[in-house]
Chain A
Amino acid sequence: MRVKLTEREVLNPVGEVQEKKIKLIPLPYDFDKVSLVDNTKPGADIILKVLSESLGNREHLWVQKPAGAPATKQQIQEAASSDLAILALGDCGSCTSWVVLDAIRLEKCGTPTISVCSDHFAPFARELADSHGLKSLRILEVEHPIAGLSDEKIEEKAGKIVGNLLYLLQIP
């Protein structure tokens, strides 16, 4: 008599993900007004200032939003009133999450975005954007860390990504 022993299967605990795609709004060929969305993390304002100064005489609209939580509807509406929005700064877990998620909210409103995250958190930012259906969300990487540095050091680090910003915007 042949006896067969079968091990019971174990079930997979990993949650399935429903695939979805969100359209990335193309950057404008030219623009008059840019929203600078500042989550008030240390250095975010300095980075946005350095980046905005490279954009010439265009109008700037500063919008402050929470760091580890979503922007209010009013803040999103305000930021969406420009031709383009630059968000900073994702240099920790929750603030990276809400830079990315608020950028996606703006893209859904039809406003093209560029998000600034530190290079340590940029891979997470891209994974998160992908999970929300926007793998190609534009993310500029600034060297980690930013918090705890002097203003001069932050300006120096921000200066290094100006070229990448101008390349994205096709500004010579």
Chain B
Amino acid sequence: MTKNDDKLKVNANSCGCLIDDLLADKPDKGDDRLCSARDSDMEFFVDPDAEKVSHDFYQRRLTDGLPIIPPTRERVNRFLAFSVYEAEDVLGILPPKMGQATVEKIAINAVMAGCLPQFQPVLEQVIKAISQEKFNLAGVNATTHPVSICTIINGPLADELGMNSATGCLGPGNMANASIGRAIRLCLINIASALPGIGDHATHGSPAKYTYCFAENEKQSPWDPLHVERGYKEDDNTVTVLAAEAPHNVNDHRSQGAEDLLDTICHTAATAGCNNSHVPGELLVIVSPEHAATIDQEGWSKKDVQNYIHKNSRLPAVLGDRGGRKLDEKWISQGEVYITRSPRDVTLVVAGGPGRHTMISHGFGSGSESVTMTLNPERRDKS
């Protein structure tokens, strides 16, 4: 090192940017760089272009076809802060690909779906619920049948998350209903590989495969809500998952009594082309508050309603036996098949707003059982 170099650098180990170096008699190099030892003087981090990421993810078959929010580390971390688990914890192995549903992968898909970070615990419980053996996700994901996953939220959390349980609760317009259902589908696409034609072989698919999530309208129900019926306390928060077809309307404006109204529901439910007709199983009945009031005014309990729907939702066995698996003789009585195995198969909830419509969703048949799980209210802020 020469004497001139000593003047330029006070400290031999510095890059020349120490305050002493800058104050020293430094020759003007003709540029305005703060530090010549680094490739930049300042680094700014910017979000990737959402449109570009959406197109890229779409091309790589990582979406449901709709635009997504780019799952940056910062966004994903905000979701992880709402989890009681570690990011790498595996909450389920999802068939057919047998992908590991880690907490972080769930969060990534939730970000993509447009969820709020507060929805993360709900999604985690849903993943755990659909991973249960009795739910038969292997069959539900791969089937040619248009079965989707219907998620019902019960308990005070539904209001806290701003969920819609009233007018239009099965339709568009609510962030929680829409994005929770969508995040579940993205988890199935990306973790289970339930892609159309690859791991999801539904002949037509279903609009309900985009999203199918709502909260029960507990305040306007004359009966115990679903989670109480299944052994939880009223102030518990639960998720219930059902393998269900897209909902079908039951329009009844004229019935003034329980039996007439329930007959309309039963007649709509007892159709030949559903899975229940040859492999009887669960039937989701989403009763509107007005219809529930009509039934309740005659003093019918929830069990009465479930019994009636079970006993009267039946069709000729010859028609029921046109589905996939051969109709088992044990489900046939006097030439008819009951589409539910017992009153317990009638999953009855109250939801929706004013109007004289009820909705029904046939299940996957005896191949899948619904699962209700409690939501752990504990939230650990790791930030």
Contacts and interface: CB of A to CB of B under 8 A. Distances in A.
Interface of A: 1-18, 39-42, 66-70, 92-98, 101, 121, 124, 127-128, 131-132, 147
Contacts of A9: 48, 72-73
A41 B104 CA distance: 40
Contacts of A16: 99-100, 102
Contacts of B112: 13
Contacts of A14: 62, 99, 105, 190-191
A14 B190 CA distance: 5
A68 to B, nearest CB: 4
B121 interface: no
A142 B144 CA distance: 18
Nearest to A8: B72
Interface in B86-108: 94-102, 104-105, 108
14 contacts: A1-B33, A3-B41, A4-B44, A8-B45, A8-B46, A9-B48, A10-B71, A13-B71, A15-B99, A67-B279, A68-B367, A92-B144, A93-B143, A128-B96
B97 A15 contact: yes
Nearest to A67: B325
A7 B46 contact: yes
B326 interface: yes
Given A15-B97, A15-B102, A69-B366, A10 B70 contact: yes
B368 interface: yes
Given A11-B108, A41-B325, A93-B144, A5 B98 contact: no
Contact of A15 (B72, B74, B105, B136): B105
Contact of B324 (A12, A18, A68, A101): A68
B147 to A, nearest CB: 9
B337 interface: no
A163 B3 CA distance: 92
B286 interface: no
B15 to A, nearest CB: 14
Contact of B39 (A2, A42, A94): A2
B109 interface: yes
B94 A66 contact: no
B138 interface: yes
Contacts of B53: 10
A8 B48 contact: yes
Nearest to A42: B324
Closest 7 CB pairs of A and B: A15-B99, A93-B201, A15-B191, A4-B40, A94-B143, A93-B142, A94-B139
B42 A3 contact: yes
B109 A13 contact: yes
Given A8-B47, A68-B367, A124-B201, A98 B105 contact: no
Given A1-B41, A3-B40, A93-B201, A131 B96 contact: yes
Given A66-B325, A92-B144, A93-B144, A3 B44 contact: yes
B130 to A, nearest CB: 14
B97 A17 contact: yes
Interface in B29-56: 32-34, 39-48, 53
A96 to B, nearest CB: 7
Interface string B123-140: 000000000000010111
Chain B CB within 10 A, most for which of A8, A14, A132, A147: A14
A94 B142 contact: yes
A15 B94 contact: yes
B225 interface: no
Q: Which residue, A9, A12, A69, A95, has most C-beta atoms of chain B within 10 A?
A: A69
Contacts of A127: 96, 198-199
Contact of A6 (B44, B94, B141, B325): B44
Given A66-B325, A97-B139, A132-B98, A5 B44 contact: yes
Contact of B367 (A8, A69, A121): A69
B134 to A, nearest CB: 10
Interface string B59-76: 000100000001111101
Contacts of B108: 11-13
Contacts of A13: 57, 62, 71, 105, 108-109, 112, 186, 190-191
B280 interface: no
Name the residue in A8, A11, A13, A124 with the highest tally of chain B Cβ atoms < 10 Å from its Cβ.
Answer: A13
A9 B136 CA distance: 35
Contacts of B40: 2-4
Nearest to B96: A128
Contacts of A4: 39-40, 42-44
A124 B101 CA distance: 21
B144 to A, nearest CB: 4
Contacts of B140: 94
Nearest to A10: B70
B325 A40 contact: yes
Contacts of A42: 324
A65 B324 CA distance: 13
Interface string B345-366: 0000000000000000000111
